[in-house]
Amino acid sequence: MRATVMYGAGDVRVEEVPDPRLREPTDAVVRIVRSCVCGSDLHPYHSMKRRDRGVPMGHEFLGVVEELGSEVSGVRRGDLVVAPFVWSDNTCEFCREGLHTSCRRGGVFGGGQAEAIRVPQAAGTLVRLPVAEDSALLPSLLTLADVYGTGHHAARLGRVGPGTTVTVIGDGAVGLLAVLSARRMGAERIILMGRHISRTDLGREFGATDVVAERGEEGIERVRELTGGDGTHAVLEAVGHMPAYEMAVGVVRPGGVISRVGVPQYEAAPVGFGSLFGGNITLTGGPAPVRAYIEELLPDVLEGRVEPGRVFDRTVGLDETPEGYRAMDDREALKVLVTP
């Protein structure tokens, strides 16, 4: 089959690889119908050291079940399913606590930008979708694999609710879906920090009440002006670089929450008296356990109350996936949908 592999920074190829097969009785094989390029895929696209053996790419996909191990229940051959970007058994104590990203038998997918994939722990991982594989809802349903669930996770950990004020840092797909999630949770005011007009316009449609294009100290000052000098109750940081963290510290209200879902590209960050401790600021975040959220988020997608799939602004065939990486890296595309 054909699959996307990365050999180093900027070196993405589509190659013939062995077909996936069942290895364990808890496995399934899924024929991929839709996948996509994630903003986090751009981190290795910038920094991966050259290697002789390519790394399978892609962790967001939905598709049709083709094969099932003998111990898999809950799905059948022919079912259209979505998979969270982390597989899990959905039964261990961490899964029962809603932390599927720490499942004792879990792991992170690679190889979703392909024609098919092996799914470990299929019974706990796969969620059946009650639509046909040519449904117009597929782009929005695909966001349940990662970006919509991650935006929801940011807002949930940020304690967003009716009456709260929110700053979202980053106008990528996760940032925009954090805006949508904050609106869905009843936020009173949502300030989106981003400077790409086509994206921030979509952010306004998703629920942003204000847009701040400035960065750094100018951006912090502007958010403070909009909030009477106080900052916002929640800051949802969807970038992962130090300047974004510093802006988050600068715009959070005393007693507020900084919720990080952008994959951090740093280890050390200010957490002392002058940054967090003195203002009673809560710092939280992490990889989203999207499996815990799918059942909650799915009905709104199926009934058309939200359209998270609008973050996809370019579609490529599988063989064109390397071009999709380039387009996202050059900011020509917000998020690229891949159709095998």
Total-model pTM: 0.96
Residue pLDDT, tens place only, 75-96: 999 999 999 999 999 999 999 9
Distance CA 99, CA 291 (A): 9
Question: In whole angstroms, what is the distance from residue 237 CA to residue 205 CA?
Answer: 20
Q: Which of 34, 129, 137 is nearest to 76 (CA)?
A: 129
Question: What strands, in cross-sheet order, belong to the sheet with 165-169?
Answer: 210-212, 189-193, 165-169, 232-237, 252-260, 282-285
Which pair of tokens denotes residue 188?
A: 């009173």
Q: Residue 197 in 3-state DSSP?
A: helix
User: According to the model, what pLDDT value does residue 307 have?
Assistant: 98
Candidate CATH numbers 3.40.50.720, 3.40.605.10, 3.40.50.1820, 3.30.420.40; the one for domain 150-285: 3.40.50.720
Q: Can you give the pLDDT at residue 92?
A: 98
Query: Strand 86-87 and strand 107-108: pairing?
Result: antiparallel
Confidence at residue 340, expressed as pLDDT on a 0 to 100 scale:
85
Question: Looking at the domain that runs over 2-146+289-339, which CATH code has it been given?
Answer: 3.90.180.10
- pLDDT recorded at residue 126: 98
- Tell me the per-residue pLDDT of 273-289, one tens digit each, with 9 for 90 and over: 999 999 999 999 999 99
Provide the residue ranges of all domains of the chain, joining segments of one domain with +: 2-146+289-339, 150-285
Nearest to 117 by CA among 45, 62, 39: 62
* 21 neighbors 49 (Cβ within 8 angstroms): no
Q: How many of the other CB atoms lie within 10 Å of CB of 14?
A: 18
User: What letter would DSSP give residue 220?
Assistant: H
pLDDT tens track, the chain, 340 positions: 999 999 999 999 999 999 999 999 999 999 999 999 999 999 999 999 999 999 999 999 999 999 999 999 999 999 999 999 999 999 999 999 999 999 999 999 999 999 999 999 999 999 999 999 999 999 999 999 999 999 999 999 999 999 999 999 999 999 999 999 999 999 999 999 999 999 999 999 999 999 999 999 999 999 999 999 999 999 999 999 999 999 999 999 999 999 999 999 999 999 999 999 999 999 999 999 999 999 999 999 999 999 999 999 999 999 999 999 999 999 999 999 999 8
Identical fold at 2-146+289-339 and 150-285? no
DSSP per position, 41-53: GHHHHHHPPP-SS
